[in-house]
A and B are shown apart, each in its own frame.
Chain A
Amino acid sequence: MGASNHHTLSALVENRPGVLSRVAGLFTRRGFNIDSLAVGPTERADRSVITIRVDCTRHSVEQVVKQLYKLVDVIDVYEVPAEAAIERELLLIKVQADAERRSEVMKLAELFDARVADVGQTTLLLECVEHPDRLASFEELLAPYGIVEAIRTGRVAMLRASAPEGESKSRLRVMG
């Protein structure tokens, strides 16, 4: 997977109309590859956080960060190092599971701390909040049963509560 080329960036932005377009447009225009992007409110009403998983095979992560900083609505950009962070993603997945196989699928769900969100005649809708890598394994194990549809939210990341202050959350203010 070449994991070393993938970086998780957390951009603190002003909660204003058009901010997401500006960030997304920047990635398109500069040819940066996004693996995933999640946006949501923060503890402050006037701030949002955009979490971007970026593939830096063609560009340096420094160049991505510098370009993000040029957007007036972007206040701060942090790289969130995987080893010091909790990374989570929500998966909603609808799996073929008739009466015969239902308990089998539910047992698997239990192993992954997934919840049954809805039950149909022939399908189960599961929800799971986990590390994205674990979600991938979960999906893989469910595949043989027949996946009807699956959606993921994109990852969000936060430094561990136990992470030493100031050491791991590296504010990427690139001075040239």
Chain B
Amino acid sequence: MSTQTESAIAKARARTGRMNGAEAIIRSLEAEGVEICWGIPGGAILPLYDAFMACEHTVQHVLVRHEQGAGHMAQGYARATGRVGVCIATSGPGATNLVTPIADAFLDSTPMVAITGQVPTHLIGTDAFQEADITGIVMPIVKHSFLVQTVEDIPRAMKAAFHIASSGRPGPVLVDIPKDLQLTEFDFAWPDEVDLPGYDTDWISGVDQDAVDAAADLIARSRKPVLYVGGGVINAEATDELILLAEALQVPVTTTLLAKGAFPDSHPLSVQMPGMHGSKYANWTMHRSDLLITIGARFDDRVTGKLDAFAPGAKIIHFDIDPAEISKNRSADVSLIGHLNETLPALRDAVLAHKNDERIRHQIDWLNEVQGWRRENPFRYRRGGDTLKPEYVMEAFDKALRGKDAIWVTGVGQHQMWAAQYLTIDGPRRWITSGGLGTMGFGVPAAIGAQQACPDAYVVNIDGDGCFQMTMQELATARCYDVPAIHAVINNGWLGMVRQWQELFHGERYSETDLFGTIPDFVQLAEAYGCLALRAETEAEADAVIAEAIAARRPTVIDFRVDREEKVYPMVPAGSASHEMLDETWENEWVEEGV
């Protein structure tokens, strides 16, 4: 698979001629430089699949086993590359199976275009076979959607869909195309521009210097500033600008779950992830701060805990691309809408112009205080003796792939949090997780999509036994296309995060969370799918299978039989203040005073 060259794209855009709507969809994909897409054929999208075979084109189609897999693969591709991920489904059940990935892409601001077949126009509204009002169903979870009305609208809708999905704050766009329009012939021409009077992103460009100066002024007067960094930095490709800003400011940097990799985990200024399962030092840094310099983050409840008690003494600077995020959950003192790769350098320049020795002196004290919290309260766990601890698996993987181009993908739950805590991610687009929607089953297909985007990278899906069983049918896709991602199942025989809540907050009543004894033998199952299948029950076995899997470069499943009781700590109970964290008891524990 190769990236479409500029000249191939230019050629596709210059194409004109008589063709049917189905071929026009493919020509539109070529004109947008789409190299790969994922989907499953069906009645209402049949003409498009016919055109995939009938005409010469440059778009690779990957046949998946469930449309949800197609959506998450498109997301994995989009998150690994920053380019628009494309998925395709038929009408009715095909389209509704895309709903979860569309919602996931909406909450995590992932650029995605979903193309769905629709019943022929004369049958719309008659409860026809496989008819579902998909544009109506996805209305609250898309950035925009089109129900194409005439064949001439196909290129226009496609161009608009890619433009909307990839510009401003990225998100999913759905294009629903009735079957009869796919079969109708017309004169194709790629439109020069999109006509969207209600969608203007030009105004985002440029920097409001007054806001930058106001932010620099707040920073100059601050004693305990912290950079609170969200996934917007990755979407804006602004990692380098962020590092330069952080180093100029010399302030601690917290990165949310979605921002992991936006700032290097191993950078001395990083205090890693804040929030429900974040580090104590990240949460205390936010809590004690007098100024949150918020960059592309959105004050999500998993970060803030009880909103009224979050960073109570802090003023707020908020840089974002989406005006609706400013003062949505927490009121901002200074805000700036813009592209972060423009606004962050402007802030850095303004800060450097404010030479202020006193500020620097205070900030050295502040950094020392934060480093003290960090030294005394690292992420930690007790080694298991005979049992294998999940945290050990993370550390072993981290060590084994250090220095290699690794992409980490996860499901949702305990394993996801351990991965977030113990993996070192030093670059953007190398950590792909379902944050906002929290979609169990995200891992297997997203890892396949990420691996297809980056064939040379080492892609590891850290999954749970519950998550894995939700989308494991895509192992067939991995096998068919020889996608060598490693699927590491952290198997504790529980729906583990739910079990943890039941243990801590529901009187140890483990209602419907125990999977032990009902889980298929993952090794036999993976072998049935033609994958390399490995198992580890001890630390030594874990080290060995990880080395074997990394060397294999073929679709691999590892069944890590881990300690069944292990919990994710620290933990901010839902609704509590974010500095009040539950933890295991540690000897010589450093207790924070007076927070």
Q: List A residues at the B interface (Cβ < 8 Å).
A: 13-14, 17-18, 21-22, 25-26, 29, 60, 62-63, 66-67, 69-75, 173-176
Contacts and interface: CB of A to CB of B under 8 A. Distances in A.
Given A14-B198, A72-B198, A176-B211, 15 more contacts: A18-B136, A25-B140, A29-B140, A60-B327, A62-B327, A66-B323, A70-B143, A70-B324, A72-B164, A72-B196, A72-B199, A73-B198, A174-B323, A176-B320, A176-B323
B22 interface: no
A14 B144 CA distance: 13
A19 B143 CA distance: 14
B198 A71 contact: yes
Contacts of B318: 176
A176 B139 contact: no
Contacts of B208: 175
Nearest to A19: B198
10 contacts: A18-B147, A21-B136, A62-B327, A70-B143, A70-B324, A72-B196, A74-B198, A173-B203, A175-B203, A175-B337
A166 to B, nearest CB: 19
Contacts of B139: 18, 21-22, 25
Contacts of A26: 140
B135 interface: yes
A69 B323 contact: yes
A75 B196 CA distance: 9
A164 to B, nearest CB: 26
From B140, B143, B197, residue with most partner A Cβ within 10 Å: B197
From B143, B322, B324, B327, residue with most partner A Cβ within 10 Å: B324
A75 B147 contact: no
Q: Which of B139, B143, B323, B326 has the most CB of A within 10 A?
A: B323
A174 B198 CA distance: 14
Interface in B179-232: 196-199, 203, 208, 211
Contacts of B136: 18, 21
Nearest to A28: B140
Contacts of A18: 135-136, 139, 147
B197 A75 contact: yes
Interface string B140-168: 10011001000000000000000010000
Contact of B335 (A25, A72, A176): A176
B355 interface: no
Interface residues of B, number: 26
Nearest to B168: A70
Given A14-B198, A21-B136, A175-B337, A72 B323 contact: no
A73 to B, nearest CB: 5
Contacts of A14: 197-198
A72 B147 CA distance: 14
A26 B140 CA distance: 7
A66 B164 contact: no
Interface in B297-352: 318, 320, 322-324, 326-328, 335-337
Given A13-B198, A14-B197, A72-B196, A66 B140 contact: no
B316 to A, nearest CB: 12
B232 to A, nearest CB: 13
Contacts of A69: 323-324
Interface of B: 135-136, 139-140, 143-144, 147, 164, 196-199, 203, 208, 211, 318, 320, 322-324, 326-328, 335-337
A63 B198 contact: no
Residue of A21, A60, A70 contacting most chain B CB atoms (<10 Å)? A70
Contacts of B337: 175-176
B317 to A, nearest CB: 12
Contact of A75 (B140, B144, B198, B320): B198
Contacts of B320: 176
What 6 A-B pairs are tightest by C-beta distance, nearest first? Answer: A176-B337, A66-B324, A75-B198, A72-B144, A176-B335, A176-B323
B135 A63 contact: no
A12 to B, nearest CB: 8
A155 B136 CA distance: 27
A6 B46 CA distance: 51
A27 to B, nearest CB: 11
A162 B196 CA distance: 33
A67 B326 CA distance: 11
Nearest to B197: A75
Nearest to A60: B327
A62 B323 CA distance: 10
Nearest to B331: A60
Nearest to A11: B198
Contacts of B164: 72
Nearest to A74: B198
A23 to B, nearest CB: 11
A176 B324 CA distance: 8
A71 B143 CA distance: 8
Contact of A175 (B147, B198, B323): B323
Nearest to B136: A21
A72 B144 CA distance: 7
Contacts of B196: 72
A50 to B, nearest CB: 12
Nearest to A63: B328
